[in-house]
């Protein structure tokens, strides 16, 4: 066994306990890594909920002249982008915060609000960072599981919310399950939240259900109650801009944005990201096309998975969460050898589940063909 160097020992000794004990975020493998490891050429990336249509063509234009300005710092306040988001959402620009991905805003919220010992309540299975960032600050995290039907469990939430909490955070629709909290249930859930608590509603998949009659209009409903709140959205999913890292938050009050400004790095959104997001947000047609493709292809993929006898959670987002019937790490590993990247779930109780993104027609078909083969080979 190799001895641990004295530098490594010092790192371990000096590290904050909350940092060294953190679980690692499961970011999955890069296409490059899969190519090298399995010798496959064609990769279907179905693990990160990216948009198979990519970004709007307007983004390419917005980035074309960028090299000339590379030497100059970007706008630390992303003024133009915040104005565009204000126009898009009806929320004043002083109540808009931009993040290097919405994950960056989750980090800012935890830096600004969470003291060691504070309680944070979130959903299970969960988006990893809803749990990891609070724990990084020393929070105690309560996970509220979905029910048997893989939907929000309102009774379990009511129970969990009987004790004080500093922050309640969940995604709607949820990642990884895809289930959506309807308007009435949303109102009931937030009414059960302790008064002295920050509500964080992560709407990373907002665009995929904004047109559904039952999807709660959080920006209209949250101001009707007294708790502070913030709604998070992102350019990474329906806008196809995951590689450039832009997310935004819509806050109850300018005071919250001013607080987050104190804890964030001053130039957190680089020039390319600001320009690209501005162009992407203006192309409404591209978003509409992306959303239309997902709803069509998702229905077809869910039907195909159910034909294989698998339990598939209802989804309002650009992915499906299903029970593959075997330890999902094993099935996902076998799919990698076919050049197909999906996300096997690792949280206790969900280790037979796989989350698969809705990709291009070609990638979806390859996934289904390979899955059928892999499951047949796994059968005893
Ligand atoms: C993808 C995702 C995010 C992260 O989005 P970025 O803006 O790329 O950081 C945040 N929350 C949820 C629930 C997500 O699924």
Measure 1 CA to ligand 1 centroid, in angstroms. Answer: 40
Q: Write down the pLDDT at residue 2.
A: 67
Q: Provide CB contacts within 8 A for 7, sequence distance 6+.
A: none
Asked whether 153 and 147 are in contact (CB, 8 A), the reply is yes
How many whole angstroms from 102 Cα to the centroid of ligand 1?
6
Only one residue has tokens 């944070």, namely 120
**Bridge partners of residue 141, in order along the sequence:** 120
Q: Can you list the residues of the chain whose pLDDT is less than 70? A: 1-2
| Residue 202, ligand 1, Cβ within 6 A | yes
Distance 198 CA to ligand 1 centre (A): 19
Is 242 close to ligand 1, i.e. is its CB under 6 Å away? yes
User: Residue 27: its pLDDT value, please?
Assistant: 75
Q: What pLDDT is stored for residue 326 in this prediction?
A: 97
Which residues make Cβ contacts (< 8 Å) with residue 298, sequence separation at least 6? 315, 318, 320, 358
Q: Kindly give the distance from the C-alpha atom of residue 56 to the centroid of ligand 1, in angstroms, as a whole number.
A: 19
Predicted pLDDT of residue 1: 57
Q: Which atom of ligand 1 approaches the CA of 49 most closely?
A: 1
Q: Do 321 and 302 contact (CB within 8 A), yes or no?
A: no
Of 103, 318, 343, the residue with max ligand 1 atoms within 8 A of its CB, to mutate for a pocket test, comes to: 103
Q: What are phi and psi of 9, to 5 degrees?
A: -60, -40
181 CA distance to ligand 1 middle (Å): 18
The pLDDT assigned to 236 comes to: 98
Beta strand spans in 272-318 (E): 311-312
Contact 50 CB / ligand 1 (< 6 Å): no
pTM of the model: 0.96
Question: Does ligand 1 lie within 6 Å of residue 364's CB atom?
Answer: no
- Alpha carbon of 279 to ligand 1 centroid (Å): 20
- Mutating to test ligand 1, I would choose from 26, 98, 101 the residue with most ligand atoms within 8 A of its C-beta, which is 101
User: Are 192 and 157 contacting, i.e. CB atoms less than 8 angstroms apart?
Assistant: yes
Q: How far is the CA of 354 from the centre of ligand 1 (A)?
A: 18
For the Cβ of 127 lying below 6 angstroms from any atom of ligand 1, the answer is yes
- Nearest atom of ligand 1 to the alpha carbon of 247: 7
CB under 8 Å to 370, separation ≥6 — which residues?
335, 338, 340
């Amino acid at each position: 066994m190799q001895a641990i160097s004295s530098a490594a020992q010092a790192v371990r000794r000096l590290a904050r306990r909350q940092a060294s004990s953190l679980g690692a975020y499961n970011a999955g493998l890069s296409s490059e890594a899969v190519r090298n490891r399995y010798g496959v050429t064609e990769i279907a990336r179905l693990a990160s909920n990216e948009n198979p249509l990519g970004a709007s063509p307007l983004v390419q234009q917005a980035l074309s002249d960028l090299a000339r300005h590379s030497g100059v710092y970007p706008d630390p306040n992303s003024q133009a982008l915040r104005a565009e988001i204000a126009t898009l959402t009806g929320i004043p620009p002083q109540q808009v915060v931009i993040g290097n991905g919405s994950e960056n805003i989750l980090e800012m919220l935890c830096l600004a609000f969470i003291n060691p010992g504070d309680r944070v309540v979130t959903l299970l299975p969960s988006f990893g960072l809803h749990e990891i960032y609070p724990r990084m600050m020393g929070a105690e995290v309560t996970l509220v599981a979905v029910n048997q039907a893989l939907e929000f469990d309102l009774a379990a939430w009511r129970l969990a919310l009987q004790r004080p909490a500093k922050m309640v955070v969940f995604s709607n629709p949820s990642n990884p399950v895809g289930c959506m909290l309807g308007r009435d249930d949303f109102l009931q859930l937030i009414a059960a939240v302790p008064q002295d608590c920050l509500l964080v509603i992560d709407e990373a998949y907002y665009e995929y259900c904004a047109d559904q009659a039952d999807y709660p209009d959080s920006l209209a409903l949250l101001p009707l109650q007294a708790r502070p709140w913030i709604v998070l959205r992102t350019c990474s999913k329906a806008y196809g801009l995951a590689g450039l890292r832009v997310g935004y938050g819509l806050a109850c009050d300018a005071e919250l944005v001013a607080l987050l400004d104190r804890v964030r790095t001053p130039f957190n959104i680089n020039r390319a990201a600001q320009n690209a997001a501005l162009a992407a947000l203006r192309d409404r047609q591209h978003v509409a096309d992306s959303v239309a493709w997902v709803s069509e292809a998702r229905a077809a993929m869910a039907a195909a998975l159910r034909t294989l006898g698998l339990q598939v959670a209802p989804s309002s987002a650009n992915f499906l969460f299903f029970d593959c019937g075997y330890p999902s790490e094993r099935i996902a590993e076998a799919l990698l050898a076919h050049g197909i990247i999906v996300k096997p779930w690792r949280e206790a109780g969900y280790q037979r589940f796989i989350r698969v993104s809705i990709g291009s027609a070609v990638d979806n078909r390859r996934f289904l063909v390979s899955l059928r083969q892999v499951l047949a080979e796994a059968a005893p």
